Amino acid sequence: MARIALCQLNSGDDPEANLKLVRSGVEAAVADGARIVVFPEATMVRFGRPLDAVAEPLDGPWASAVAAVAAEHDVVVVAGMFTPADGRVRNTLLVTGGGHHRGYDKIHLYDAFGFAESDTVAPGTSLTTFEFEGVVYGVATCYDVRFPELFRALADDGADVVLLPASWGAGEGKREQWEVLVRARALDSGCWVLACGQADPAATGVTVNPKAPTGIGYSLASDGFGRVLASAGPGAETLVVDVDPAVAVAARTATGALANRRL
C-alpha cells in the first residue's frame, strides 16, 4: 500500500513564496504518513505571467530547494515548474527524492479553448516513469489527460499509478470534463490516476489573470475501475490517499483494456 498526498493550492507569482507552500505542504503530508507528495502544475509560478524570466534548470536553486525538502523528510515530491528551452520554456514536472531527481516535460500543450500554450512552451517528447518502494509510477500533466494513448503507454512501461498535476482552465462544463477524463484514463490504462489541480482562485480569494488557466480545484483519485476513492472541493486542501497497486492488476485483468487492443 502506498500513501500519497495531493496538495491542492494556489501558487502565486513569486517562486520563493511558492517554495514555502511546498515546504509546509510536505510537512503536513508527512505528518499524515504520506510517502509521495504531489503538487499542481505550475507550482513554481502560476500561469498568467511571463515564464521565461523565472525558468530554471533541474539543477537550479528552486528545484534544488525542493530536492532538499524531499530529502529532509525522506519522501518523493512531484511539483510543476518551468525549465529553459530555446526561445521558450518547458512545462516540467519535477520528480525528486527517493533516489530520483528528474523531470517530465509536458508532451501535449494546451492549444485549446482559445489558449495557445505552444506560443511560449516547447513540447516534451519522452515518457517518464519512476520506481519507489516497489511501485512504478508514471507522470502526466494537465492537458495530457485528453490523450488515452499516453496513459496506456505508461501502463505498458510498468506503471500502476499515474500522478497528474494540473492547472485546469475554468469554463462551462470544464469541471465535468476534468472528472470524466481522469476516470476515463484510469479505465483506459487500468492504472490508478491521482490528479492534483490548482485550487480555484475564486474559492480562495486570490486575484489572477482571468485569461490564464489558473485552476478549478476538484483534485481526485480514481482506481483502474473508474471508481473515485477521494475528491476535493474547489478550495485549498490536501487529500491523502492509500493506493493498492494490486487493484491496477485486477482492473486490467477484468476489463482487458490493454490486452484486447487492436489499434
Task: Show the cell assigned to 35.
Answer: 510517502
**How many CA atoms does the CB half-sphere of 86 hold within 13 Å?**
0
Active site residue 149: no
> Pick the catalytic residue: 106, 117, 191, 196?
106
* Backbone φ and ψ of 142, nearest 5°: 45, -100
> Pick the catalytic residue: 7, 56, 117, 142?
142
Active site residue 106: yes
Distance separating alpha carbons of residues 74 and 138, to the nearest angstrom:
20
User: How would you classify residue 145: left for phi > 0, otherwise alpha for psi between -120 and 50, otherwise beta?
Assistant: alpha
| Contact indicator for 154, 136 with CB cutoff of 8 Å | no
Residue 137: partners with Cβ closer than 8 Å, 6 or more residues away: 36, 129, 130, 131, 159, 160, 161, 162, 163
* Backbone φ and ψ of 258, nearest 5°: -95, -45
**How many CA atoms does the CB half-sphere of 5 hold within 13 Å?**
25
| Contact indicator for 236, 199 with CB cutoff of 8 Å | yes
Distance separating alpha carbons of residues 214 and 203, to the nearest angstrom:
12
Q: Which residues are tagged catalytic? A: 41, 106, 142
